[in-house]
Structure 1
Amino acid sequence: MKLIYTLLLVTLGMGLNAQNSYQIGMNKAFELWGKGDSAEAANLFERIGSAEKNNWLPYYYAAQLQIIGSFDMADPVLKERKLEKAQEILDQAKQYSEKDNAEVMVLQALLYTSYITLDPSVYGMKLSGTINEIYRKALELAPENPRVIFSKAEWDMGSARFFGEDPGKYCPEIEHSLELFSNFKPEAEFFPDWGQERAKMILANNCKK
Protein backbone atom coordinates (compact mmCIF):
# COMPACT_ATOMS: atom_id res chain seq x y z
CA MET A 1 0.00 0.00 0.00
CA LYS A 2 2.84 2.35 0.87
CA LEU A 3 4.50 1.62 -2.49
CA ILE A 4 1.29 2.41 -4.39
CA TYR A 5 0.92 5.69 -2.46
CA THR A 6 4.52 6.63 -3.25
CA LEU A 7 4.05 5.88 -6.95
CA LEU A 8 0.90 8.01 -7.02
CA LEU A 9 2.79 10.92 -5.46
CA VAL A 10 5.63 10.58 -7.96
CA THR A 11 3.21 10.43 -10.89
CA LEU A 12 1.30 13.45 -9.62
CA GLY A 13 4.54 15.37 -9.14
CA MET A 14 5.67 14.59 -12.67
CA GLY A 15 2.34 15.78 -14.04
CA LEU A 16 2.52 19.03 -12.07
CA ASN A 17 6.11 19.64 -13.21
CA ALA A 18 5.12 19.08 -16.84
CA GLN A 19 2.18 21.46 -16.50
CA ASN A 20 4.39 24.05 -14.84
CA SER A 21 6.97 23.75 -17.62
CA TYR A 22 4.22 24.22 -20.21
CA GLN A 23 2.94 27.37 -18.51
CA ILE A 24 6.44 28.81 -18.15
CA GLY A 25 7.23 28.06 -21.78
CA MET A 26 4.00 29.55 -23.12
CA ASN A 27 4.38 32.68 -21.01
CA LYS A 28 7.97 33.07 -22.23
CA ALA A 29 6.86 32.72 -25.86
CA PHE A 30 4.18 35.37 -25.42
CA GLU A 31 6.75 37.61 -23.72
CA LEU A 32 9.08 37.27 -26.72
CA TRP A 33 6.17 38.04 -29.03
CA GLY A 34 5.29 41.12 -27.02
CA LYS A 35 8.88 42.34 -27.31
CA GLY A 36 8.75 41.99 -31.09
CA ASP A 37 10.92 38.86 -31.33
CA SER A 38 8.40 37.01 -33.45
CA ALA A 39 10.84 34.53 -34.97
CA GLU A 40 12.10 33.30 -31.61
CA ALA A 41 8.56 33.25 -30.22
CA ALA A 42 7.39 31.09 -33.13
CA ASN A 43 10.33 28.72 -32.67
CA LEU A 44 9.57 28.41 -28.96
CA PHE A 45 5.89 27.72 -29.60
CA GLU A 46 6.93 24.94 -32.00
CA ARG A 47 9.29 23.42 -29.44
CA ILE A 48 6.56 23.51 -26.82
CA GLY A 49 4.21 21.78 -29.26
CA SER A 50 6.76 19.04 -29.92
CA ALA A 51 7.20 18.47 -26.20
CA GLU A 52 3.52 18.64 -25.32
CA LYS A 53 2.10 16.38 -28.04
CA ASN A 54 -1.73 16.34 -28.25
CA ASN A 55 -1.98 20.12 -27.66
CA TRP A 56 -3.03 22.34 -30.55
CA LEU A 57 -2.40 25.69 -28.88
CA PRO A 58 1.42 26.00 -29.25
CA TYR A 59 1.16 25.09 -32.93
CA TYR A 60 -1.74 27.51 -33.35
CA TYR A 61 0.36 30.44 -32.15
CA ALA A 62 3.45 29.34 -34.09
CA ALA A 63 1.33 29.26 -37.25
CA GLN A 64 -0.30 32.59 -36.42
CA LEU A 65 3.08 34.28 -36.16
CA GLN A 66 4.15 32.88 -39.51
CA ILE A 67 0.91 34.03 -41.14
CA ILE A 68 1.03 37.53 -39.65
CA GLY A 69 4.66 37.92 -40.73
CA SER A 70 3.86 36.86 -44.28
CA PHE A 71 1.47 39.69 -45.12
CA ASP A 72 4.08 42.44 -45.40
CA MET A 73 6.76 40.39 -47.16
CA ALA A 74 7.77 41.82 -50.53
CA ASP A 75 9.85 38.92 -51.83
CA PRO A 76 7.37 36.45 -53.38
CA VAL A 77 9.70 33.46 -53.05
CA LEU A 78 10.38 34.05 -49.37
CA LYS A 79 6.71 34.78 -48.75
CA GLU A 80 5.63 31.53 -50.36
CA ARG A 81 8.16 29.61 -48.27
CA LYS A 82 6.85 31.27 -45.13
CA LEU A 83 3.27 30.37 -46.03
CA GLU A 84 4.27 26.78 -46.74
CA LYS A 85 5.90 26.65 -43.31
CA ALA A 86 2.79 28.18 -41.75
CA GLN A 87 0.62 25.52 -43.39
CA GLU A 88 2.82 22.73 -42.05
CA ILE A 89 2.51 24.10 -38.53
CA LEU A 90 -1.21 24.76 -38.86
CA ASP A 91 -1.70 21.17 -39.98
CA GLN A 92 -0.12 20.14 -36.67
CA ALA A 93 -2.64 22.28 -34.81
CA LYS A 94 -5.44 20.62 -36.79
CA GLN A 95 -4.08 17.19 -35.96
CA TYR A 96 -4.23 17.79 -32.21
CA SER A 97 -7.45 19.80 -32.21
CA GLU A 98 -11.05 18.73 -32.49
CA LYS A 99 -12.10 18.35 -36.10
CA ASP A 100 -14.21 21.50 -36.30
CA ASN A 101 -12.29 24.19 -34.45
CA ALA A 102 -13.46 27.67 -35.45
CA GLU A 103 -10.26 29.28 -34.11
CA VAL A 104 -8.07 27.10 -36.34
CA MET A 105 -10.42 27.68 -39.25
CA VAL A 106 -9.97 31.44 -38.94
CA LEU A 107 -6.18 31.00 -39.17
CA GLN A 108 -6.59 28.85 -42.26
CA ALA A 109 -8.69 31.54 -43.88
CA LEU A 110 -6.06 34.17 -43.01
CA LEU A 111 -3.32 31.98 -44.47
CA TYR A 112 -5.23 31.66 -47.73
CA THR A 113 -5.84 35.42 -47.70
CA SER A 114 -2.09 36.00 -47.51
CA TYR A 115 -1.67 33.70 -50.51
CA ILE A 116 -4.06 35.95 -52.45
CA THR A 117 -1.91 38.98 -51.62
CA LEU A 118 1.05 37.01 -52.99
CA ASP A 119 -0.54 36.86 -56.44
CA PRO A 120 -4.21 37.90 -56.74
CA SER A 121 -4.44 36.82 -60.38
CA VAL A 122 -3.44 33.26 -59.51
CA TYR A 123 -4.77 32.73 -56.01
CA GLY A 124 -7.80 35.03 -56.01
CA MET A 125 -9.97 32.83 -58.18
CA LYS A 126 -8.47 29.67 -56.71
CA LEU A 127 -8.96 30.46 -53.01
CA SER A 128 -11.70 33.10 -52.64
CA GLY A 129 -14.50 30.55 -52.71
CA THR A 130 -12.65 28.35 -50.22
CA ILE A 131 -12.18 31.27 -47.84
CA ASN A 132 -15.87 32.14 -48.06
CA GLU A 133 -16.77 28.54 -47.26
CA ILE A 134 -14.38 28.42 -44.30
CA TYR A 135 -15.92 31.54 -42.80
CA ARG A 136 -19.43 30.26 -43.50
CA LYS A 137 -18.71 27.04 -41.64
CA ALA A 138 -16.86 28.79 -38.80
CA LEU A 139 -19.78 31.16 -38.34
CA GLU A 140 -22.15 28.21 -38.23
CA LEU A 141 -19.99 26.49 -35.60
CA ALA A 142 -19.25 29.54 -33.45
CA PRO A 143 -21.75 32.35 -34.14
CA GLU A 144 -20.75 34.17 -30.94
CA ASN A 145 -17.00 34.01 -31.47
CA PRO A 146 -15.79 37.60 -32.01
CA ARG A 147 -12.75 36.53 -34.07
CA VAL A 148 -14.99 34.68 -36.50
CA ILE A 149 -17.34 37.67 -36.89
CA PHE A 150 -14.53 40.21 -37.19
CA SER A 151 -12.26 38.19 -39.50
CA LYS A 152 -15.13 37.38 -41.85
CA ALA A 153 -16.17 41.05 -41.91
CA GLU A 154 -12.61 42.19 -42.68
CA TRP A 155 -12.40 39.65 -45.51
CA ASP A 156 -15.76 40.80 -46.86
CA MET A 157 -14.58 44.41 -46.74
CA GLY A 158 -11.50 43.54 -48.76
CA SER A 159 -13.59 41.66 -51.30
CA ALA A 160 -15.99 44.60 -51.57
CA ARG A 161 -13.12 46.99 -52.32
CA PHE A 162 -11.76 44.65 -54.97
CA PHE A 163 -15.10 44.60 -56.77
CA GLY A 164 -15.65 48.34 -56.42
CA GLU A 165 -18.35 48.01 -53.77
CA ASP A 166 -18.80 49.92 -50.52
CA PRO A 167 -16.94 48.12 -47.70
CA GLY A 168 -18.90 50.19 -45.19
CA LYS A 169 -21.85 47.84 -45.51
CA TYR A 170 -19.91 45.42 -43.29
CA CYS A 171 -19.40 47.95 -40.50
CA PRO A 172 -22.32 46.53 -38.48
CA GLU A 173 -20.48 43.19 -38.35
CA ILE A 174 -17.34 44.91 -37.05
CA GLU A 175 -19.43 46.67 -34.42
CA HIS A 176 -21.08 43.39 -33.49
CA SER A 177 -17.68 41.73 -33.08
CA LEU A 178 -16.62 44.48 -30.67
CA GLU A 179 -19.74 43.86 -28.61
CA LEU A 180 -18.80 40.20 -28.46
CA PHE A 181 -15.17 41.00 -27.64
CA SER A 182 -16.27 43.05 -24.62
CA ASN A 183 -17.88 39.98 -23.06
CA PHE A 184 -15.61 37.27 -24.44
CA LYS A 185 -14.00 34.83 -21.99
CA PRO A 186 -11.42 32.34 -23.33
CA GLU A 187 -12.36 28.73 -22.70
CA ALA A 188 -9.13 27.98 -20.82
CA GLU A 189 -5.64 29.29 -20.20
CA PHE A 190 -3.82 30.36 -23.37
CA PHE A 191 -6.92 30.00 -25.56
CA PRO A 192 -7.11 32.66 -28.32
CA ASP A 193 -8.42 36.07 -27.30
CA TRP A 194 -6.85 38.33 -29.95
CA GLY A 195 -8.52 40.66 -32.43
CA GLN A 196 -10.21 43.38 -30.42
CA GLU A 197 -7.65 46.10 -31.07
CA ARG A 198 -7.55 45.40 -34.80
CA ALA A 199 -11.35 45.43 -34.92
CA LYS A 200 -11.31 48.88 -33.31
CA MET A 201 -8.75 50.08 -35.88
CA ILE A 202 -10.79 48.71 -38.80
CA LEU A 203 -13.90 50.38 -37.41
CA ALA A 204 -12.12 53.72 -36.99
CA ASN A 205 -10.60 53.63 -40.49
CA ASN A 206 -13.55 52.34 -42.45
CA CYS A 207 -16.72 53.17 -40.56
CA LYS A 208 -16.55 56.89 -39.87
CA LYS A 209 -19.96 58.46 -39.57
Structure 2
Amino acid sequence: MKKYLILILLLILISLVIKASNETYIQAMSSEIARLEKAATIEDLQRCANAFARIQGIHPNEWHPLYYSSLAYTYMGFMTNGGLEAKDKYFAEAKRLVDRAAGLSSGNSEIMALKGFVLMGELSADPQSRGADMGAITLQTLEKAAALNPNNPRALILLAQMEYGTSQFFGQSTEKACKLAKTSSELFNQEKAKNRNNMLEPRWGKEMIEQLVGACENAP
Protein backbone atom coordinates (compact mmCIF):
# COMPACT_ATOMS: atom_id res chain seq x y z
CA MET A 1 0.00 0.00 0.00
CA LYS A 2 2.84 2.37 0.89
CA LYS A 3 4.45 1.72 -2.52
CA TYR A 4 1.25 2.70 -4.30
CA LEU A 5 0.98 5.91 -2.29
CA ILE A 6 4.56 6.83 -3.13
CA LEU A 7 3.90 6.13 -6.81
CA ILE A 8 0.77 8.31 -6.77
CA LEU A 9 2.65 11.14 -5.07
CA LEU A 10 5.45 10.89 -7.64
CA LEU A 11 2.95 11.04 -10.50
CA ILE A 12 1.29 14.08 -8.96
CA LEU A 13 4.67 15.75 -8.51
CA ILE A 14 5.67 15.05 -12.12
CA SER A 15 2.34 16.43 -13.32
CA LEU A 16 2.84 19.64 -11.34
CA VAL A 17 6.39 20.07 -12.67
CA ILE A 18 5.22 19.60 -16.27
CA LYS A 19 2.37 22.06 -15.76
CA ALA A 20 4.70 24.65 -14.26
CA SER A 21 7.14 24.17 -17.13
CA ASN A 22 4.37 24.64 -19.72
CA GLU A 23 3.12 27.77 -18.00
CA THR A 24 6.64 29.21 -17.89
CA TYR A 25 7.09 28.40 -21.59
CA ILE A 26 3.81 30.04 -22.58
CA GLN A 27 4.56 33.11 -20.49
CA ALA A 28 8.05 33.50 -21.97
CA MET A 29 6.81 33.01 -25.52
CA SER A 30 3.89 35.40 -25.11
CA SER A 31 6.21 38.08 -23.78
CA GLU A 32 8.65 37.73 -26.67
CA ILE A 33 5.88 37.63 -29.29
CA ALA A 34 4.59 40.93 -27.89
CA ARG A 35 8.11 42.38 -28.20
CA LEU A 36 8.39 41.10 -31.76
CA GLU A 37 5.13 42.80 -32.69
CA LYS A 38 6.54 46.11 -31.45
CA ALA A 39 10.08 45.71 -32.86
CA ALA A 40 11.04 48.74 -34.93
CA THR A 41 14.71 48.18 -35.70
CA ILE A 42 16.98 45.35 -36.80
CA GLU A 43 18.54 45.44 -33.33
CA ASP A 44 15.10 44.91 -31.76
CA LEU A 45 14.41 42.03 -34.13
CA GLN A 46 17.79 40.44 -33.42
CA ARG A 47 17.13 40.54 -29.68
CA CYS A 48 13.79 38.83 -30.27
CA ALA A 49 15.38 36.16 -32.48
CA ASN A 50 18.03 35.50 -29.83
CA ALA A 51 15.38 35.23 -27.13
CA PHE A 52 13.35 32.72 -29.16
CA ALA A 53 16.54 30.72 -29.72
CA ARG A 54 17.13 30.53 -25.97
CA ILE A 55 13.55 29.38 -25.39
CA GLN A 56 13.88 26.75 -28.11
CA GLY A 57 17.04 25.47 -26.46
CA ILE A 58 15.03 24.75 -23.32
CA HIS A 59 12.04 23.37 -25.25
CA PRO A 60 13.61 21.63 -28.28
CA ASN A 61 10.41 19.87 -29.34
CA GLU A 62 8.33 23.05 -29.70
CA TRP A 63 7.96 24.56 -33.18
CA HIS A 64 6.77 28.04 -32.17
CA PRO A 65 10.17 29.41 -31.05
CA LEU A 66 11.74 28.37 -34.35
CA TYR A 67 8.82 29.85 -36.25
CA TYR A 68 8.99 33.24 -34.57
CA SER A 69 12.77 33.37 -34.76
CA SER A 70 12.46 32.72 -38.50
CA LEU A 71 9.84 35.46 -38.76
CA ALA A 72 12.19 37.90 -37.00
CA TYR A 73 15.00 37.13 -39.48
CA THR A 74 12.55 37.50 -42.37
CA TYR A 75 11.61 40.96 -41.13
CA MET A 76 15.34 41.78 -40.86
CA GLY A 77 15.85 40.74 -44.47
CA PHE A 78 13.11 43.08 -45.64
CA MET A 79 14.25 45.92 -43.37
CA THR A 80 18.01 45.99 -43.90
CA ASN A 81 19.64 48.54 -46.18
CA GLY A 82 22.84 46.51 -46.31
CA GLY A 83 22.46 45.32 -49.89
CA LEU A 84 21.87 41.92 -51.46
CA GLU A 85 24.49 40.07 -49.43
CA ALA A 86 23.04 41.27 -46.12
CA LYS A 87 19.47 40.48 -47.23
CA ASP A 88 20.41 36.99 -48.37
CA LYS A 89 22.18 36.32 -45.08
CA TYR A 90 19.01 37.11 -43.08
CA PHE A 91 16.75 35.16 -45.43
CA ALA A 92 19.08 32.16 -45.36
CA GLU A 93 18.86 32.04 -41.57
CA ALA A 94 15.09 32.47 -41.74
CA LYS A 95 14.88 29.55 -44.18
CA ARG A 96 17.06 27.34 -41.97
CA LEU A 97 14.86 27.99 -38.95
CA VAL A 98 11.52 27.56 -40.70
CA ASP A 99 12.74 24.27 -42.17
CA ARG A 100 13.55 23.09 -38.66
CA ALA A 101 10.07 24.15 -37.52
CA ALA A 102 8.56 22.15 -40.40
CA GLY A 103 10.46 19.11 -39.16
CA LEU A 104 8.63 19.39 -35.83
CA SER A 105 5.18 20.12 -37.26
CA SER A 106 4.50 18.69 -40.72
CA GLY A 107 1.50 19.79 -42.77
CA ASN A 108 1.35 23.09 -40.89
CA SER A 109 -0.22 25.89 -42.94
CA GLU A 110 1.38 28.63 -40.85
CA ILE A 111 4.87 27.21 -41.33
CA MET A 112 4.28 26.73 -45.06
CA ALA A 113 3.04 30.33 -45.35
CA LEU A 114 6.16 31.56 -43.57
CA LYS A 115 8.28 29.51 -45.99
CA GLY A 116 6.53 31.36 -48.80
CA PHE A 117 7.17 34.69 -47.06
CA VAL A 118 10.90 33.91 -46.86
CA LEU A 119 10.92 33.02 -50.55
CA MET A 120 9.14 36.30 -51.32
CA GLY A 121 11.92 38.08 -49.47
CA GLU A 122 14.63 36.35 -51.47
CA LEU A 123 12.77 37.09 -54.68
CA SER A 124 12.23 40.76 -53.84
CA ALA A 125 15.93 41.18 -53.00
CA ASP A 126 16.84 40.63 -56.66
CA PRO A 127 13.66 40.31 -58.75
CA GLN A 128 15.29 40.79 -62.16
CA SER A 129 17.61 37.80 -61.88
CA ARG A 130 15.48 35.64 -59.58
CA GLY A 131 11.97 36.24 -60.87
CA ALA A 132 12.03 33.59 -63.57
CA ASP A 133 13.22 30.80 -61.27
CA MET A 134 11.73 31.75 -57.92
CA GLY A 135 8.37 33.22 -58.91
CA ALA A 136 6.69 29.89 -59.62
CA ILE A 137 8.24 28.17 -56.57
CA THR A 138 7.07 30.97 -54.27
CA LEU A 139 3.56 30.88 -55.70
CA GLN A 140 3.37 27.09 -55.35
CA THR A 141 4.51 27.27 -51.74
CA LEU A 142 1.84 29.82 -50.85
CA GLU A 143 -0.83 27.87 -52.72
CA LYS A 144 0.13 24.82 -50.67
CA ALA A 145 -0.16 26.86 -47.46
CA ALA A 146 -3.65 27.99 -48.49
CA ALA A 147 -4.64 24.44 -49.40
CA LEU A 148 -3.52 23.16 -45.98
CA ASN A 149 -5.79 25.74 -44.33
CA PRO A 150 -8.09 27.84 -46.56
CA ASN A 151 -8.94 29.97 -43.50
CA ASN A 152 -5.36 31.06 -42.85
CA PRO A 153 -5.37 34.83 -43.51
CA ARG A 154 -1.57 35.00 -43.73
CA ALA A 155 -1.42 32.37 -46.46
CA LEU A 156 -4.09 34.23 -48.43
CA ILE A 157 -2.64 37.73 -48.10
CA LEU A 158 0.83 36.56 -49.14
CA LEU A 159 -0.73 34.72 -52.08
CA ALA A 160 -2.73 37.86 -52.91
CA GLN A 161 0.45 39.96 -52.89
CA MET A 162 2.13 37.57 -55.31
CA GLU A 163 -0.92 37.55 -57.57
CA TYR A 164 -1.19 41.34 -57.43
CA GLY A 165 2.46 41.92 -58.29
CA THR A 166 2.37 39.39 -61.15
CA SER A 167 -0.82 40.89 -62.58
CA GLN A 168 0.60 44.40 -62.47
CA PHE A 169 3.86 43.28 -64.10
CA PHE A 170 2.03 41.69 -67.02
CA GLY A 171 -0.63 44.40 -67.23
CA GLN A 172 -3.42 41.99 -66.32
CA SER A 173 -6.50 42.37 -64.11
CA THR A 174 -5.86 42.37 -60.35
CA GLU A 175 -9.39 41.14 -59.62
CA LYS A 176 -8.26 37.72 -58.37
CA ALA A 177 -5.64 39.24 -56.06
CA CYS A 178 -8.10 41.76 -54.68
CA LYS A 179 -10.68 39.07 -53.95
CA LEU A 180 -8.04 37.12 -52.06
CA ALA A 181 -7.08 40.24 -50.12
CA LYS A 182 -10.71 40.90 -49.15
CA THR A 183 -11.17 37.29 -48.02
CA SER A 184 -7.95 37.50 -46.03
CA SER A 185 -9.20 40.66 -44.30
CA GLU A 186 -12.46 38.99 -43.34
CA LEU A 187 -10.67 35.91 -42.03
CA PHE A 188 -8.22 38.05 -40.06
CA ASN A 189 -11.10 39.88 -38.34
CA GLN A 190 -12.80 36.58 -37.54
CA GLU A 191 -9.55 35.21 -36.15
CA LYS A 192 -9.06 38.31 -34.00
CA ALA A 193 -12.61 38.12 -32.65
CA LYS A 194 -12.27 34.51 -31.53
CA ASN A 195 -11.57 33.68 -27.91
CA ARG A 196 -8.21 32.07 -28.58
CA ASN A 197 -6.93 29.80 -25.84
CA ASN A 198 -3.47 29.52 -27.37
CA MET A 199 -1.84 32.94 -27.57
CA LEU A 200 1.20 31.44 -29.28
CA GLU A 201 -0.54 30.98 -32.62
CA PRO A 202 0.50 33.45 -35.36
CA ARG A 203 -1.58 36.59 -35.72
CA TRP A 204 0.65 38.87 -37.82
CA GLY A 205 -0.34 40.21 -41.23
CA LYS A 206 -2.77 43.06 -40.49
CA GLU A 207 -0.63 45.78 -42.08
CA MET A 208 -0.10 43.72 -45.24
CA ILE A 209 -3.83 43.14 -45.53
CA GLU A 210 -4.71 46.80 -45.01
CA GLN A 211 -2.13 47.96 -47.57
CA LEU A 212 -3.30 45.61 -50.32
CA VAL A 213 -7.00 46.14 -49.63
CA GLY A 214 -6.35 49.89 -49.77
CA ALA A 215 -4.48 49.54 -53.07
CA CYS A 216 -7.38 47.56 -54.50
CA GLU A 217 -9.95 50.10 -53.34
CA ASN A 218 -7.97 53.02 -54.78
CA ALA A 219 -7.17 51.34 -58.08
CA PRO A 220 -8.64 53.10 -61.15
| TM norm structure 2 | 0.86
**Quick one: which of 188, 194, 200 aligns to 2:210?**
200
Task: Give 1:169 shift.
Answer: 4.8
1:88 pairs with 2:96: yes
Alignment partner, residue 11 of structure 1: 14
**Quick one: which of 157, 160, 167 aligns to 2:174?**
167
Q: Per-residue displacement from partner, 1:85-113 (whole Å, max 9, x unpaired)? A: 1111111111111x221111111111111
Task: Give 1:116 shift.
Answer: 1.1
Deviating 4+ runs (over 4 angstroms):
none
The CA distance in 2 between the partners of 1:187 and 1:100, in whole Å, is 21
Evaluate the alpha carbon distance shift between residue 31 and residue 53 of structure 1 in structure 2; reply closer, same or farther with a 3 A threshold.
same
Task: Give 1:140 shift.
Answer: 2.0
| TM norm structure 1 | 0.90
Trace 1:37-48 onto structure 2 (pairs within 5 A).
37-48=44-55
Which AA in structure 2 matches 1:164? G
Task: Give 1:129 shift.
Answer: 1.0
Structure 1 window deviating more from structure 2 (180-189 vs 137-146): it is: 180-189
Alignment partner, residue 156 of structure 1: 163
CA contact (8 A) 1:106 1:147 kept: yes
CA contact (8 A) 1:25 1:44 kept: no
SS in 2 for 1:71: helix
**Equivalent residue pairs, number:** 208
Task: Give 1:46 shift.
Answer: 1.6
Which AA in structure 2 matches 1:147? R
**Quick one: which of 132, 136, 154 aligns to 1:125?**
132
SS in 2 for 1:21: helix
Q: Per-residue displacement from partner, 1:57-107 (whole Å, max 9, x unpaired)? A: 11111101111221132321111111111111111111111x221111111
Unaligned residue ranges in structure 2 (runs of 5+): none
The CA distance in 2 between the partners of 1:34 and 1:159, in whole Å, is 29
Evaluate the alpha carbon distance shift between residue 31 and residue 141 of structure 1 in structure 2; reply closer, same or farther with a 3 A threshold.
closer
Evaluate the alpha carbon distance shift between residue 187 and residue 90 of structure 1 in structure 2; reply closer, same or farther with a 3 A threshold.
farther
CA contact (8 A) 2:32 2:48 kept: yes
SS in 2 for 1:124: helix
1:25 pairs with 2:28: yes
SS in 2 for 1:181: helix
Structure 1 window deviating more from structure 2 (179-188 vs 116-125): it is: 179-188
Instruction: Kindly report the root-mean-square deviation, in angstroms, between the aligned alpha carbons of the 2 structures.
Output: 1.9
Task: Give 1:27 shift.
Answer: 2.1
The CA distance in 1 between the partners of 2:172 and 2:163, in whole Å, is 10
Evaluate the alpha carbon distance shift between residue 142 and residue 76 of structure 1 in structure 2; reply closer, same or farther with a 3 A threshold.
same
Task: Give 1:121 shift.
Answer: 2.7
The CA distance in 2 between the partners of 1:2 and 1:154, in whole Å, is 61
Identity of aligned residues (%): 25
